[in-house]
Structure 1
Amino acid sequence: MITESVAGHCEHLAQASNFPAYVYDMDALAQHAGTIRSALSGSPEIFYAAKANPDPEFLRTIAPFVDGFEVASGGELRHVLDAVPGSRIAFGGPGKTVAELRDALERRVERIHVESPHELKRLAELSRSAGGADVMLRVNLAGDRAGAALAMTGPFGMDPELIEACRVILEAAPWLRLRGIHAHLASGLDANAMLRQSEQILAWARPWLSSAGVESPEINLGGGMGVDYVAPECRFDWQTYAQGITKLKRPEETLRIEPGRAMAVYAGWYVTDVLDVKQAHGEWFAVLRGGTMQIRTPVTKGHNHPFQILPGASPEGPAVENVPVTFVGQLCTPKDVFARSVPIDRIAVGDVVAFSMAGAYAWNISHYDFLMHPRPSFHYLPQP
């Protein structure tokens, strides 16, 4: 549901014909991040996954409520440290280059998540003269991923057989300090499914780390907390998760999680206006300014993106009532669809459509230069 401050700002955007626009409610973001922090009460540690939305204002707003940031490229690493200097950083992601690893060492990144024996060998060579490095080995466990929106299989991390090859490398490079295990196995899970997955990770990681001689082990349980675009009011149950993870944690270990989408998604809206309403082969279409090149989420997820229609001050042109309508953008492709065959009470040219849940994996994953339409404006509420 659109917040009062965002709805009020949409009126100003309409008066200025300043569409499309991203409108971010920073108070809502801080409140939600604070709720998560309060529920977890300091354990596990929270590292925000910057890939969800690396907007500098998002990073700075979230920073007081998290213990650090997870980055997945050298570009993200530099970007986050520029926005929030001195932050604790966990550097993950497959295919790290020599330049990225060197940069991570020079910037004294707190933890480097190693994805393969080859990457570990490369890091050993680079870090010997740099005082070593603190590493987490990323494990990719097999198991039931039923109900997951995305299973992180294939090239991510090492299966238990491959990870054994890291023992010899670590023994030959004592300047590499093994701190623990990282595992991000799936995304889109509810609290109970996340807890079952955490149990699976801990059951494997604890004996392996003990056999490797790691004292005070760290276990990064990843992210993947579910977000429901069909029912936005149904949010991840942080209280249930917190209660369960407290029971799982042992006194000598540090647990860590990496929420991204579940922390940032509710604070953003993509707002635009209706350019045309027309019928084709019995189906009604609302043509909106902008398109999915500016908010890639609906196409990526293959869903009807949640929205709210705000009537225009003086609607003009065609209108339609009480029929299913498909919302499309300005791209020259039939795939440019925000929502398909959604029942509406009324929509007219000049109305404003505010797509909610645009605070994560929206603008930052979009191919916004396709067809070279004007880029959206960005607005942060409350305004200075």
Structure 2
Amino acid sequence: MKPVGPIPAGYAAIDGELAIGGRRVSELVAEAGRTPLFVYSRAHIDARVAALRTALPARVGINYAVKANPHLAVIGHMAALVDGFDIASSGELGLCVAVGIDPARISFAGPGKRDDELEAAIAVGVTLNCESAGEAARALAIGERLGKAPRIAIRVNPSFELKGSGMKMGGGAKPFGVDADQVPALARHVIAAGAEWRGLHIFTGSQALSADAIIEAQGNVLELAAKLAGDIGQPLPKLNMGGGLGIPYFPGDTPVDLARVGAALAERVESLPAVLAETELCIELGRYLVGEAGVYLTRIIDRKVSHGVTYLVTDGGLHHQLAASGNFGTVVRRNYPSAIATRYGAEPTEEVNIVGCLCTPLDRLADAAAMPEAQVGDLVAVFCAGAYGATASPAAFLGHGPAAEMLV
């Protein structure tokens, strides 16, 4: 038997069913009209942002990384909660503009921005986190053609990384950003060429649970930013420090000690060197803001036994929840937090494999998991589904189509 990951706090049962936003899952599915269904909880998002505001120094803003969950209702809800938005495509720019977000609150990162994307961003006043000298040259040329100074920050590839992070975005050769030793000359060039200088973006990694590692990385980021600002010889208007805060997915994972991270960052901020005295600071978070707010609901459509192993076959699967299937960056597959949503809180009585509807052995949502006995028609809940779920999965695979989504 294999354990499932820890179910996030804040979920409860009503009449034996999982409730999200105070409503039973069967009601939510009826409202959506179908399964599979992603449900995103406003209450969880609000609580997470409030906890960050309490823990972090007031000077440090919060940016939402739209890539984590670009559902239009989620972006719209975030508009009143966070200070800025980080996008990775012109498609995400369109979503932000569609819900009325001021482009001045938006920054655009990504190592392969097309000319049409650069033009769209420059035209409305989005900050470009330039990732190479070539990209900066294209942005300057487009700005000259438009008669508009591009707002340019430089994404830095630091020599250090976020230790223990699930995905390392800095340290050594990387496709992301400009190597730190090349940044001062490039910054001076774009400033001299007439760009509106917006500062630096230093992102070292993501999905870290160690407070010590996050504290060390944030300290390194601030030290590097101060050195680069001095070498550039110009004030640093803004520093995006990246994020890196992870969430517990698997057995044995523990939440980030946010209070420790915030206290250490406050100490650093209080003793910043003069060169950063007027710099606007922010951290960029995606998964940490919305990951635990999402639940993926899929219906059991068959129950079968093969060589003594019980399988619960659902109408969902890896085409919506690639990460939960273990096929999105993990080496050893482990069970995400999951439950029988329509028997929530019932004692487990059997060991089951929960699988999807696709004709591939990779389509697994839970292996050898202890669950209460479930039947055809019951709903399965996969938690921690609010980030890198619906849009980070191959929804077109085998023609099953996308899942429904709602914010409650």
Normalised to the residue count of structure 2, the TM-score between the two structures is 0.83
Compare 150-159 and 337-346 and name the one that shifted more.
337-346
Contact map agreement 1:21 1:271 (CA 8 A) in 2: yes
Secondary structure at 1:84 match in 2: coil
Letter in 1 for 2:256: F
Secondary structure at 1:64 match in 2: coil
The corresponding residue for 1:179 is 198
The corresponding residue for 2:389 is 362
The corresponding residue for 1:300 is 328
For residues 21 and 325 of structure 1, what CA distance do their matches in structure 2 show? 22
Contact map agreement 1:120 1:169 (CA 8 A) in 2: no
Contact map agreement 1:288 1:328 (CA 8 A) in 2: yes
**Are 2:167 and 1:150 equivalent residues in the alignment?**
yes
Q: Per-residue deviation at 1:85?
A: 3.0
The corresponding residue for 1:43 is 59
After superposition, give the CA deviation of every residue in 1:47-75 in whole Å (9 maximum; x if it has no partner). 10000011111112122221110011111
Letter in 1 for 2:125: R
Q: Per-residue deviation at 1:117?
A: 0.7
Letter in 2 for 1:38: T
Secondary structure at 1:137 match in 2: strand
Gaps of 5+ in 2: 1-6, 14-18
Q: Per-residue deviation at 1:333?
A: 0.6
The corresponding residue for 2:97 is 81
1:253 corresponds, among 250, 256, 279, to 279
The corresponding residue for 1:318 is none
**Are 2:285 and 1:264 equivalent residues in the alignment?**
no
Q: Per-residue deviation at 1:221?
A: 0.9
Normalised to the residue count of structure 1, the TM-score between the two structures is 0.88
Give 1:164-313 correspondences, 5 Å limit: 165-167=185-187, 169-170=189-190, 172-173=192-193, 175-190=194-209, 191-230=211-250, 234-249=254-269, 250=272, 251-298=277-324, 299-302=327-330, 303-311=334-342
Contact map agreement 1:49 1:70 (CA 8 A) in 2: yes
The corresponding residue for 2:361 is 334
Secondary structure at 1:300 match in 2: coil
The corresponding residue for 2:116 is 99
For residues 143 and 282 of structure 1, what CA distance do their matches in structure 2 show? 50
After superposition, give the CA deviation of every residue in 1:81-127 in whole Å (9 maximum; x if it has no partner). 11233251111111111111111111011x21010011111112222
For residues 43 and 289 of structure 1, what CA distance do their matches in structure 2 show? 47
Secondary structure at 1:35 match in 2: helix
Letter in 2 for 1:272: T
After superposition, give the CA deviation of every residue in 1:279-306 in whole Å (9 maximum; x if it has no partner). 3344332211121102222131543121
**Are 2:365 and 1:349 equivalent residues in the alignment?**
no
Gaps of 5+ in 1: 314-320
**Are 2:78 and 1:58 equivalent residues in the alignment?**
no
Q: Per-residue deviation at 1:322?
A: 4.1
**Distance change (3 Å), C-alpha of 1:176 and 1:144:** closer
